[in-house]
Structure 1
Amino acid sequence: MPKKNPYDFTVIISVSMLVIIGIIMVFSSSFSYSLVRMNDGYYFLKRVLIWATIGTGAMVFCARFKYWYWAKYANLLFFVSLVLLVVVLTPIGINRNGAQRWLGAGPITIMPSEVAKFAAIIFVSTSITRKKEKIKSFVYGVLPFLMIIGIYFGLIFAQPDFSTAFVVAVVIMAMVFVGGMKMSHFVGLAGTGLAGIGGMITYLVIKGESYKARRVTSFLDPWADPRDTGFQAVQSLLALGSGGLFGRGLGRSVQKHFYLPEPQNDFIFAIIGEELGFIGGATIILLFMLLIWRGIRIAINAPDLLSCLMATGIISMITVQVIINIAVATSSMPVTGMPLPFISFGGSSLVIFMAAIGVLLNISRYTILDRS
């Protein structure tokens, strides 16, 4: 059994600060919305506190649960995640704003796509470890994981949720790459993927009639259609721009008052920029950079291939979501529904991310790191 070390203090501190900031900003950004729509200004605060408590419990459990034990449950997690993704597309699934992404009843709901991220990391890392001698082969090593990507992508995209499907695909490919696939295979697949995305965007632009086509093109000039497809981007940029260096002050956002729809979710970074200014936004980015850097260090120094791949998947998932969320808030890419890890409101997302951090912390106990 590998020698145990202390948990990585840097990871604990950075995640704790992000979660605390998230709780504060969810309350600040949602008070007006929840007061009018839910008749309770503390509606989202009470729920985020409950989910943060559950998430903390999940993180503590996963931090104490030896990472190699997850391999025993990899197939079960994969099967359960697929079942949930199929069930959510049936009449049992809950439809909100044209998207069918939730399961549950009343105020308690879960997003199967969030469970799928965690399950994919465990299953793929375990599978690569078991067949590491075949990963150099495209047919026997890479193709099976492309099929897994296709299954996950198809089921999540059908909800529809392109951004989450994209994240799952990127995370799996990152693990396969680190697992030892040939560079020629990686370059070929990356080129094919980029060509496919480019082709899809071109098709939407040429078609030009659908809402998605206008959504893709509006980010180039949101003010060309500020009342429709460019509305969210314009309001987000106004929030960020009006914050200045130090911000309007905590709780003093203007855009959260029904300008940005559901500001506690996808556009919470814009509210942070408005209320806490450039300093606040930069602090959030620096905390994520610190967490990502430490996660990469853990992956590089991991004691075995399984832990290296798990750490790679976890930190890739966090990195991709942070980039997409902030890029959307700054109108650097088309608007898409992607929560900011540990900060945006969302029970399933918060619990899954904190559980994943727990796995990363457990790996850090068996990793030789400079812990100063």
Structure 2
Amino acid sequence: MINNTLSKLFKGDKVIWMVFFFLCIISIVEVFSASSQLAYKGGSYLSPMFKHIFLLILGIFCMIITLNIQCRYFKVALPFLLIVSIITLGAVLAAGQNINGGSRWLNIFGLSFQPSEIAKGTMVLATAQIYSVLQTDNGADKNAFKWVMGLSIAILALICGENLSTAALLFLVIVMMMFIGRTPYSQLGKLLGVVTLLGVAVIFFIMAFGKDVNEEKKLLAAHNVTVVSDDKDDLFEKRPWFLKRADTWKTRIDKFMNSKDIPPDSVDLDKDAQVSYANIAIASSNVIGKGPGNSEQRDFLSQAFSDFIYAIIIEEMGIIGAGGVAFLYIILLFRTAKIANQCENNFPAFLAMGLALMLVTQALFNMCVAVGLAPVTGQPLPLISKGGTSTVINCVYIGVILSISRSAKKRTPAANAQPAAV
């Protein structure tokens, strides 16, 4: 009786379910351990964990609803999601709520959320729909590339102003979906050429017109000027919003490019707090780690429960535990690839792979930031980091993959190698 009830509730691919639950368990343990700063500010060491558990329960509830929807109905939601994404992203640019130096949040009826999280899934859904409709026996129709690029430019332009890293990662996922969708190599080659030139131009603009916050502070200190606030408006007055973001980007690029091995006693913990304490956490972990809840750097590392939670995982669970977390994302990607390969139609296959690539790419980038292989950004670790919008939306993305695993029409052994166009 109980087994029948559980099987009806937890539908879809069992391996995806197992990966999801392992990530949730790791998330609860590590968020509880890494939230000492929030516990101190709130006066309760259990409050951050209970709030995170509530968000996970809400996410699981949304995930169960999503997995019970037939995958073909996701196409119906595309026009509505596009309208919502464009309106909310535009509202963020006009009146976004500033948190941790970025106006990426929108406050509606007292609830804050990041429209970019919804826009990411919307773009993956749109790309999957376009490439499934315009798929031919010889690959994707050339018009598919034009439609996807048109939508991408519109959505990414609204995201990149305040969240360049999210826009870049989303664009990378779209390019990978184009490759999976059999876009003509001539179009992909031209796209990569244009992107390369545009990337060089953006970096030149940032380095030419942006100001390094740390260098500006040093200059002010040399003239005996004390900066009371970390707000860049105190340093760079009357600068347009796009130049203020350029300041942030240049500071991060300079810090990453100028990183070098220096003696421990020469490290400036005030200037490079995040990177320094993350390095200390990793260096002190050894192979097996200090054990769950025994992190020492969580009290000093800013955003230890979010952007740098992987550093805390390494410190507490060691190289073995950190490798295990990375392996869970690899299983998620390859299991989703198997689900997509079994689909008879293109749309569910492209959608499942797009969502999996988005989750795994973001996870990989977060890990690279934590270990010093990429510049510091605000990308959380999917399904593990403490968050509001991202936690619930990522659960919905898993729900979509589970829906495809159970409701998408499967190919028969005698079917052609390529899925049929929808």
Q: Once the 2 structures are TM-superposed, how far is the Cα of residue 214 of structure 1 from its aligned partner?
A: 3.3
Q: Which residue of 1 aligns with 2:86?
A: 82
Alignment correspondent of 2:293? 251
Task: Find the aligned partners of 1:342 and 1:22 in 2 and give their Cα distance.
Answer: 7
Q: Partners of 2:100 and 2:166 in 1: how far apart? A: 17
Asked if 1:28 is matched to 2:33, the reply is yes
Q: Which has the larger radius of gyration?
A: 2
Q: TM-score, normalised by structure 2?
A: 0.79
SS at the partner of 1:81? Answer: helix
2:176 counterpart residue number: 174
User: What is the identity, as a one-letter code, of the residue corresponding to 2:378?
Assistant: G
Match runs of 1:329-348 below 5 Å: 329-348=370-389
Q: Does 1:122 align with 2:88?
A: no
Residues 203-233 of structure 1 show CA distances to partners (whole Å, capped at 9, x for unaligned) of 4345673343231132244367744664322
Matches within 5 A, 1:178-197: 178-197=180-199
Contact in 1 for aligned 2:140/2:181 (Cα 8 Å): no
SS of residue paired to 1:89 = helix
Aligned residue among 42, 45, 49 for 2:49: 45
Write the distance in 2 (CA, Å) between the matches of 1:201 and 1:226.
27
Specify whether residues 241 and 170 from structure 1 end up closer, same or farther in structure 2 by C-alpha distance, changes over 3 A only.
same
Give 2:74's aligned residue: 70
Give the aligned partner of residue 417 of structure 2. none
Q: Distance in 1 between matches of 2:345 and 2:191?
A: 26
Q: Aligned to 1:104, which of 100, 103, 107?
A: 107
Task: Give the aligned CA root-mean-square deviation in angstroms.
Answer: 2.4
The aligned counterpart of 1:3 is none
**What one-letter code is carried by the residue in structure 2 that aligns with 1:28?**
S
Q: Is the Cα contact below 8 Å between 1:135 and 1:141 reproduced in 2?
A: no
**What SS does the aligned partner of 2:105 have?**
strand
* TM-score, normalised by the number of residues in structure 1: 0.89
Deviations 1:42-77 (A, max 9, x none): 232121111101111111111111111111121111
Tell whether 2:254 aligns with 1:217: yes
Q: Bigger CA drift: 292-301 or 210-219? A: 210-219
Contact kept, 8 Å, 2:131 with 2:140, in 1: the verdict is no
Identity %: 28
Unaligned runs of 5+ in 2: 1-10, 213-246, 413-422
Aligned counterparts of 1:334 and 1:143: Cα–Cα separation in 2: 32
Equivalence for 1:314: 355
257, 263, 267: which one aligns with 2:308: 267
Deviates more, 1:180-189 or 1:302-311: 180-189
> Which ranges of structure 1 fall in alignment gaps of 5 or more residues?
1-5
SS of 1:222's partner is coil
The Cα shift of 1:128 comes to 2.5
Count of aligned positions: 360
Residue type of the partner of 2:24? V
The structural deviation recorded for 1:284 is: 0.4
Q: Which piece of structure 1 moves more, 124-133 or 269-278?
A: 124-133
Q: Name 1:239's counterpart in structure 2.
A: 281
Distance apart, 1:40 and its partner CA? 2.3
Task: Return the offset for 1:131.
Answer: 3.0
Q: Which amino acid aligns with 2:160?
A: F
Q: Give the aligned partner of residue 230 of structure 2.
A: none
Per-residue deviation at 1:15?
1.0
